[in-house]
């Protein structure tokens, strides 16, 4: 039947929740870019929900989490009302799906459950008291309690290295691929409980703000019965009007879509796109 509702009924319902950014980012550009990326996978039905603007009342803001297989957060802004936070924790503990994107891991520094969901985060006062940094050393994940707060080198093209090749999100990906010009988030910290590192990247020490460490780029976090996929990739600067290379990189798009499906179902059915980057050249979609 050509009924739109029925035609879409086998797609995974995804909530893209957005509406505020910090001073360095631009949700008005990143959100449509992520929506377009997800729709290119043809398996998601994406609803966009925009929060009240910064400083405005959240009265009446009450997302129906349980309508969705996963929630993709593109949000760095005002704290949510306690009832909204509680309902989101309940949704996640009960088996919901969450995708944390780039600066979304800067949000909600004082919300303990959120910090557990994202595993690690940065800025907004996150220091040693928030938990360790997560690194990859000698072939395994290492928790680093040393000093340091989040930073990143000036955006550049960097290699992303697969660390969990058997994870559904990563199966079939090359062991290394070149990501288009982006911020390489470094020294994120947090509770890091139930965290699996899927992929890392390393900014050379001779680069300004290069840690020389393998920093987590793609992660999963178990939260109750819920699944979290965390991508640190995809910087969209506050002053841009069009989606930059970081979110048009075919590697960003493919790993995002695989992460969204995994967060929603625990499985990945998508084939790797033919334009997935190799280690020598970044691939940016039009």
Residues that bind Zn ion (CB under 5 A): 183, 235
Comparison of 29 and 92: residue with beta carbon closer to Zn ion: 29
Comparison of 119 and 168: residue with beta carbon closer to Zn ion: 119
Minimum separation from the CB atom of position 145 to Zn ion (A): 25
Cβ atoms of 134 and 236 within 8 Å: the answer is no
Comparison of 24 and 61: residue with beta carbon closer to Zn ion: 24
Comparison of 152 and 163: residue with beta carbon closer to Zn ion: 152
Q: How far apart are CA 199 and CA 242, in angstroms?
A: 27
Comparison of 186 and 257: residue with beta carbon closer to Zn ion: 186
Minimum separation from the CB atom of position 45 to Zn ion (A): 28
Minimum separation from the CB atom of position 25 to Zn ion (A): 6
- Strand pairing class (70-74; 97-101): parallel
Tokens of 21: 């950014």
Comparison of 189 and 235: residue with beta carbon closer to Zn ion: 235
- Strand pairing class (44-50; 214-223): unpaired
Minimum separation from the CB atom of position 117 to Zn ion (A): 20
User: What is the C-alpha end-to-end distance of the chain, expressed in Å?
Assistant: 34
Q: How far apart are CA 251 and CA 265, in angstroms?
A: 21
In the complex, residue closest to Zn ion by CB: 235
Q: How far apart are CA 158 and CA 155, in angstroms?
A: 9
Q: What is the CA radius of gyration of the chain?
A: 18
Q: How far apart are CA 96 and CA 84, in angstroms?
A: 15
**Of 219, 281, 204, which Cα lies nearest the Cα of 249?**
281
Hey, which bits of the chain come out as E strands?
12-18, 44-50, 70-74, 97-101, 133-137, 140-144, 156-162, 176-182, 195-202, 214-223, 226-231
Residues with Cβ within 8 Å of 10's Cβ and at least 6 positions away in sequence, in order, are: none
15-36 as b/e, with b when 16 or more CB fall inside 10 Å?
Answer: bbbbbbbbeebbbebbbbbbbe
Comparison of 37 and 173: residue with beta carbon closer to Zn ion: 37
Minimum separation from the CB atom of position 185 to Zn ion (A): 8
């Amino acid at each position: 039947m050509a009924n739109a509702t029925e035609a879409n009924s086998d797609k995974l319902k995804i909530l893209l929740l957005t509406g505020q950014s910090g001073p360095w980012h631009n949700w008005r550009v990143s959100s449509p870019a992520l929506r377009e990326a997800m729709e290119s996978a043809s398996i998601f039905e994406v609803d966009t929900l925009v929060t009240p603007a910064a400083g405005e009342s959240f009265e009446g803001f009450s997302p129906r989490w349980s309508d969705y297989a996963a929630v993709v957060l593109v949000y760095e802004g005002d704290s949510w009302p306690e009832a909204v936070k509680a309902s989101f924790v309940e949704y996640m503990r009960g088996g919901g799906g969450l995708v944390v994107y780039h600066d979304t891991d800067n949000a909600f520094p004082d919300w303990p459950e959120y910090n557990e969901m994202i595993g690690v985060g940065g800025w907004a006062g996150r220091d040693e008291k928030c938990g360790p940094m997560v690194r990859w050393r000698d072939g395994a994940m290492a928790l680093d309690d040393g000093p340091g707060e989040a930073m990143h080198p000036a955006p550049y093209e960097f290699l992303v290295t697969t660390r969990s090749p058997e994870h559904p999100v990563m199966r079939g990906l090359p062991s290394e691929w070149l990501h288009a010009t982006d911020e390489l988030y470094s020294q994120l910290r947090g509770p890091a409980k139930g965290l699996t590192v899927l992929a890392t990247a390393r900014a050379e020490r001779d680069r300004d703000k290069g840690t020389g460490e393998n920093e987590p780029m793609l992660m999963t976090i178990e939260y109750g019965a819920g699944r979290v996929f965390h991508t640190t990739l995809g910087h969209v600067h506050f002053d841009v009007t069009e989606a930059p290379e970081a979110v048009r990189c075919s590697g960003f798009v493919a790993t995002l879509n695989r992460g969204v499906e995994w967060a929603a179902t625990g499985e990945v059915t998508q084939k790797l796109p033919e334009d997935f980057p190799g280690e020598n050249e970044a691939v940016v979609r039009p």
